[in-house]
Amino acid sequence: TNAPVTVTVTGAAGQIGYALLFRIASGQLIGPDTPIKLRLLEIPQAVKAAEGTAMELDDCAFPLLQSIDITDDVNTAFRGTNVGLLVGARPRSQGMERGDLLQANGGIFGPQGAAINAGAAEDVRVLVVGNPANTNALIAQAHAPDVPAERFTAMTRLDHNRALTQLAQKLGVSVTEISKMTIWGNHSATQYPDLFHTEVGGKIAAEQVEQAWLADEFIPTVAKRGAAIIEARGASSAASAANAAIDHVHTWFNGTAEGDWTSAGVVSDGSYGVPEGLISSFPVTASGGRFEIVQGLQHDEFSRQRIDASVGELVEERDTVRELGLL
Ligand code: NAX
């Protein structure tokens, strides 16, 4: 077996936390040979609920689970952390302006970034799930100047997985037939799921579907799937979001398959005209514990406009948090 990995989950008593913790503890996050030490961070009112989840984790007798610590102190939560899953966030309440939402989340993700900077393990890797995920990740990253920026990522794997299944169902194929799917931009309704580089059975997906389906059904279905889940389930995506977080980190540690890539919100190096430093979704490969942005893809006008619109939204969010003094 490998050395144990300390995994901190914030918002552990929430609905994604409940769907996530059991899968981490069973070994699905990193792999079957890596013991896990769990740290659960919650706000004081929710610590008791997190303790209840910890009782259930005990009752699973997971062979890989070495310890569970529960805290409402951010520095305690991130001391020695190898993997930080930042799930807890401030949701938008009725009548809240976007600036207020960003401000409230800055109050969460700034201190968490600072705590990661101060006390996390040298190899710390961070995935931000809590919305607005890209900009929350940017805020946390900005507060951790001693941690390589590339260790801060935002989750668009759920959007990626949604896109895989929508396309598979349209073409009547298994998701395993599909490679090189990409989500570009922000994890929001402006995101751009790109079928012009996606391959199905070795041929470009966009050439196997009608343009009208691609533009008027596929893209909006993927981009608005979160709202459709709320409408149907009466609650937002939880198990699928937890599944995507598992996929993201598992890929980060274990790599992408030869000839394939995945989607993740990573710090831009300026590729594809995305301003350097923004945390935007790109096609990425992973190997040796690092994500790398896939280079050299060409975009037609249709794709370019959509990428630019989503990246433009990220720029606005960044400018707002900058004006608020949160970066
Ligand atoms: P819940 O409201 O069920 O749980 C959130 C938990 O976070 C609560 O238990 C709350 O007490 C805790 N929390 C709040 N502030 C905290 C802080 N400062 N420190 C520690 N814990 C804190 O939400 P849930 O459904 O679990 O969703 C969590 C987040 O994921 C939301 O922001 C949601 O918008 C986001 N999502 C992101 C997705 C993505 O693809 N990136 C998809 C699913 C989900 O919508």
Which residue puts its alpha carbon closest to atom 12 of ligand 1? Answer: 11
Residue 77: per-residue pLDDT: 98
Q: Average of pLDDT values for 38-62?
A: 98
Cβ(279) – ligand 1 distance below 6 Å: no
pLDDT band at 50; cut points 50, 70, 90: very high
pLDDT (tens digit, 9 = 90+) per residue, 81-101? Answer: 999 999 999 988 888 888 889
Number of neighbouring beta carbons within 10 Å of residue 155: 29
Q: In the β-sheet with 178-179, what is the strand arrangement from edge to edge? A: 178-179, 199-200, 203-204
Q: How far does the centroid of ligand 1 lie from the alpha carbon of residue 14, in Å? A: 6
pLDDT in tens, 238-269: 999 999 999 999 999 999 999 999 999 999 99
Q: Is the CB of 166 under 6 A from ligand 1?
A: no
pLDDT at 94: 83
pLDDT band of residue 299 (cuts 50, 70, 90) is very high
Peptide bond into 132 cis (omega under 30): yes
CA–CA dist 12, 86 (Å, integer): 9
Measured between alpha carbons, how far is 290 from 311 in angstroms, rounded to an integer?
Answer: 23
Query: Which bin fits 275, alpha (ψ -120 to 50), beta or left (φ > 0)?
Result: beta
Q: Looking at residue 193, what is its pLDDT?
A: 98
Helix 239-254 crosses helix 157-171 at what angle (to 10 degrees)? 100
* Per-residue pLDDT tens digits for 204-227: 999 999 999 999 999 999 999 999
247 lines ligand 1 (CB under 6 A): no
- List C-alpha distances in Å: 257 to 27, 248, 252, 307: 20, 13, 12, 25
Structure tokens at 60: 């699973």
Confidence of residue 317 (pLDDT cuts 50, 70, 90): very high
Active site residues: 187
- For residue 183, pLDDT over 90 is answered with yes
- CA separation for the pair 149, 268 (Å, rounded): 10
Percent of the chain with pLDDT over 90: 96
In percent, the amount of the chain with pLDDT more than 70 equals 100
Q: Is the pLDDT of residue 30 over 90?
A: yes
Closest to 126 (Cα-Cα) out of 107, 154, 94, 90: 154
Ligand 1 centroid from CA 84, angstroms: 14
Atom of ligand 1 nearest to the CA of 158: 40
Q: Quick one: 162 exposed, middle or buried, by C-beta within 10 A (0-12, 13-18, 19+)?
A: buried
Cβ-proximal residues to 301 (8 Å cutoff; 6+ apart), any chain: none
Give the pLDDT of residue 222: 98
Instruction: Please tell me if the CB atom of residue 238 comes closer than 6 angstroms to any atom of ligand 1.
Output: yes
Of 78-87, 100-109, 270-279, 302-311, the poorest mean pLDDT is in: 100-109
Residues 6+ apart with CB under 8 A from 145: 117
Q: What does pLDDT average to over the chain?
A: 97
Mean pLDDT across 148-168? 98
- Judge contact between 155 and 127, C-beta under 8 A: yes
- Tell me the pLDDT band of 68, cut-offs 50, 70 and 90: very high
Give the pairing of strands 290-293 and 279-287: antiparallel
